[in-house]
Amino acid sequence: MKNNLRALIHTKSIKDDKKITYRDVYEKTGISINTLSKMSSKKDMNITVNTVSKLCNYFKCTPNDILLAK
């Protein structure tokens, strides 16, 4: 599975008309900046269900938007 975190952050930045940073995501989700950075750079990282759930709530999306089949 690949993750689509970079694209989601980019899309939200455009939609909200402001640059979204890992710190912004951390402050709203509690997911550490280190984890977000690793997720963004390592497309094949294992991600917990809890993390996916928090990201879905933040980005208002489904798990399929975050996790992509290779």
Three-state SS at 70:
coil
Q: Which among 9, 5, 17, 15 is positioned nearest to 43, based on CA atoms? A: 5
- For 46-59, the pLDDT digits (tens) are 889 999 999 999 99
Distance from C-alpha of 23 to C-alpha of 47, rounded to nearest angstrom: 19
Domain ranges of the chain: 2-60
Please give the full DSSP string across 4-68, using - where no structure is assigned: -HHHHHHHHHHHHTS---HHHHHHHH---HHHHHHHHH-TT----HHHHHHHHHHHT--HHHHEE
- For 6-37, the pLDDT digits (tens) are 999 999 999 999 999 999 999 999 999 999 99
